[in-house]
Amino acid sequence: MKASTPTRWNLFSLLLVILASDAASQTAHHLTSEELRSDLRSVIILAGYPCNSVAVFTNPGPSDYHVSCDADRLYRVHVSEEKGIVVENRSDPEGAASEADADHDAFMRRQLFAIVSLAGHECGRVVHHEVRGTRDRIVTCEDQTTYRVHVTPEGRVEVDRHLITK
Amino acid sequence: MKPRVLLWIALLSLSSPVFAQQSGSVDSDSGEDFNLEALVDRISHSKALGFLTKLSLKLDIDGFLKMIREYHDKGGGEDSLEQLHERYDVMVHKLVVLLQDKDEELVKSIDDGRDKLWAMLADAKKFAGM
């Protein structure tokens, strides 16, 4: 790796934080409430936490949001200079909904959780997944609901309830 | 370069030395042109993704590109190339799910380019020479 790479990355990280702060401070002024809710919901899900819809949010400081999802889940979303975007589970600080990407399977489960949740389906966490074909998977959530996640010829990702036939 | 474009290049981790020297069109194996820069520019101008979401996606992509780089540098890594391809596929899925109800044309372009981009990432010589 070239010696200049860390410096380049540090500069880009700094740029991102500056732009993030700027953009986050502008969001309250330029984005509609619905757009901001959608952004916050996506970020929470991408971090591995469930959030079907954002009920209420407050913006106590620049780049800092306190979010209530589905009436009983509280999160704090903020921008950290060190970590980038940070989502804290305020309802259950010890909760392990957001699995660390310790290994390949943990990474895949978190990604598939995000895909299923972003498509509008409830899935506390993914407990099992298997390949069914090219870009075609079966995903099992913790409540044992199974979904088929596949790509259509048009390039869309479809997430459908899947009934297992034995 | 416009800050917005610069940001998206950073977001997609195309700011690494590998991608920084990349010009607009890339010859794919099939001989077709794949205009990576144009695709990045379209994503940067898409309003389908919120800024916080873009920042979150960037973290995942950073980690993924680091793994690809380590794989090529060391001739292997914790994940096999097949596993890296799986990671790439689900990350593209995730981006598509975020975009598909708001920017259908962009989703089509991403679908058209995903295999070409993977071919570039998976080939050590192409990755190093891009």
Measured at the CA of B51, the angle between CA A70 and CA A33, to 5 degrees, comes to: 45
Measured at the CA of B54, the angle between CA A90 and CA A12, to 5 degrees, comes to: 105
Pair A80, A111 in one domain: no
ipTM over 0.95: no
Pair A46, A108 in one domain: no
Pair A80, A127 in one domain: no
Report how many domains make up chain B: 1
Per-residue pLDDT band at B41 (split at 50, 70, 90): confident
Look over chain B and give the mean of its residue pLDDT values, rounded to a whole number: 77
Q: What is the pLDDT of residues B92-112, one digit of tens each?
A: 999 999 999 999 999 999 999
Domain boundary among A89, A121, A137: A89
Whether residue B30 has pLDDT greater than 50: no
DSSP H helical segments within B1-129, as ranges? 3-11, 17-20, 36-45, 51-74, 81-99, 104-122, 124-129
pLDDT at res. A72: 87
* Rounded average pLDDT over B18-41: 54
Question: Cβ separation of A39 and B52 shorter than 8 Å?
Answer: yes
CA dihedral sign of residues A33, A35, A39, A44: positive
In a domain, residue A97? The reply is no
Question: Cβ separation of A46 and B60 shorter than 8 Å?
Answer: yes
The residue of chain A nearest to residue B92, with distances taken between CA atoms, is A157
Pair A80, A126 in one domain: no
Q: Which residues contact A30 (CB under 8 A, 6 or more apart)?
A: none
Domain of residue B102 covers 3-129
Pair A53, A122 in one domain: no
d(CA A139, CA A113): 9
A1 touches chain B (CB under 8 A): yes
pLDDT at res. B63: 86
pLDDT at res. A20: 52
In a domain, residue A94? The reply is no
A4 touches chain B (CB under 8 A): yes
Pair A41, A81 in one domain: yes
d(CA B123, CA B112): 19
d(CA B71, CA A147): 32
The residue of chain A nearest to residue B87, with distances taken between CA atoms, is A108
Pair A68, A12 in one domain: yes
Q: What is the pLDDT of residues A113-154, one digit of tens each?
A: 999 999 999 998 999 999 998 899 999 999 999 999 999 998
Q: Structure tokens of B114?
A: 């995903």
Pair A70, A10 in one domain: yes
Pair A78, A132 in one domain: no
In a domain, residue A121? The reply is yes
Domain of residue A75 covers 5-89
Domain boundary among A46, A66, A89: A89
Q: How far is CA A156 from CA A62, A126, A150, B13, B110, in A?
A: 35, 21, 8, 24, 10
pLDDT at res. A165: 58
Measured at the CA of A136, the angle between CA A132 and CA A141, to 5 degrees, comes to: 85
Q: Structure tokens of B113?
A: 């380019």
Pair A40, A74 in one domain: yes
Per-residue pLDDT band at B33 (split at 50, 70, 90): low
**Nearest C-alpha neighbor of A50 from the set A85, A91, A79, A86:** A91
Pair A112, A45 in one domain: no
pLDDT at res. A2: 43
Q: Which residues of chain A have pLDDT under 70?
A: 1-29, 94-102, 164-166
Report how many domains make up chain A: 2
Domain boundary among A89, A123, A138: A89
Contact criterion met (CB below 8 Å) for B47 and B62: no
pLDDT at res. B22: 41
DSSP H helical segments within A31-163, as ranges? 33-46, 104-118
Put simply, the chain A residues between 69 and 128 with a CB less than 8 A from any chain B CB are 77, 79, 84-85, 101, 103-104, 107-108, 111-112, 114-115, 118-119
- Model-level pTM? 0.79
Pair A85, A110 in one domain: no
pLDDT at res. B124: 92
